[in-house]
Amino acid sequence: MNNEVLEFINRRFKVDCNWLNGNCYYFAVILKNRFPDGEIVYDQIKGHFMFLLNDILYDYSGIVDSDYDKLDNIKKTDPLLYSYLVRDCMR
Closest CA to 38 of 47, 46, 50, 26: 50
**Cα–Cα distance, 70 to 57 (Å, whole number):** 12
> Can you give the residue ranges of every domain in the chain?
2-88
pLDDT at 16 over 90: yes
Mean pLDDT taken over the chain: 95
Helical spans, DSSP H, in the chain = 2-12, 24-34, 71-77, 79-88
> How sure is the predictor about 2, in pLDDT bands with cuts at 50, 70 and 90?
low
Closest CA to 48 of 64, 36, 34: 64
Question: pLDDT tens, 33-72?
Answer: 999 999 999 999 999 999 999 999 999 999 999 999 999 9
pLDDT at 21 over 80: yes
Bridge partners of residue 63, in order along the sequence:
58
> Given this model, what pLDDT does residue 27 score?
97
Rg, Å, the chain Cα set: 13
- Rounded average pLDDT over 4-19: 95
